[in-house]
Amino acid sequence: MTERKTLQDIQDEVDKYISQFKEGYFSPLAMMARMTEEVGELAREINHYYGEKPKKAEEEQKTVEDELGDVFFIVLCFANSLGIDLQEAFDRIMHKFTTRDKDRWTRIEE
């Protein structure tokens, strides 16, 4: 089994990939537009699989997994372009959920 990458490893891998191109990262506004586009594609796939809108026969077959991968990639690019450490951001958000929001939802009884 291969060793799993850390979130920092993944951010570094994306940065290495983007850094080989003169264009580099898009501007924040363009990045937001790309993210919106990718989330829209994810929504479309979710609607095809779980909603009331089946794919047309001529539509390209994509998967929710692929679309989530695209969203993840653009989130990584966005974070890198703004110098955001996603591990630190994640840790802060989890702290918020486990403290401020700890009683927001009904817990499963053990």
Comparing C-alpha atoms, which of 30, 34, 21, 28 is closest to residue 70? 34
Give me the amino acid identity at 59: E
Query: Quick one: how many helices (H) and strands (E) in the chain?
Result: 4, 0
Q: What is the pTM of this model?
A: 0.85
Q: Could you read off the pLDDT of 1-19 as tens digits, one per residue?
A: 788 999 999 999 999 999 9
Cα–Cα distance, 102 to 95 (Å, whole number) = 10
The answer on pLDDT for 110 being more than 70 is: no
Q: In Å, how far from its chain's centre is CA 62?
A: 17
Instruction: Compute the radius of gyration of the chain from its Cα atoms.
Output: 18
The answer on pLDDT for 23 being more than 90 is: yes
- Provide the token pair at 9: 């490893």
Q: Could you read off the pLDDT of 36-74 as tens digits, one per residue?
A: 999 999 999 999 888 887 777 777 778 899 999 999 999
Q: Which residue has the higher pLDDT, 104 or 7?
A: 7
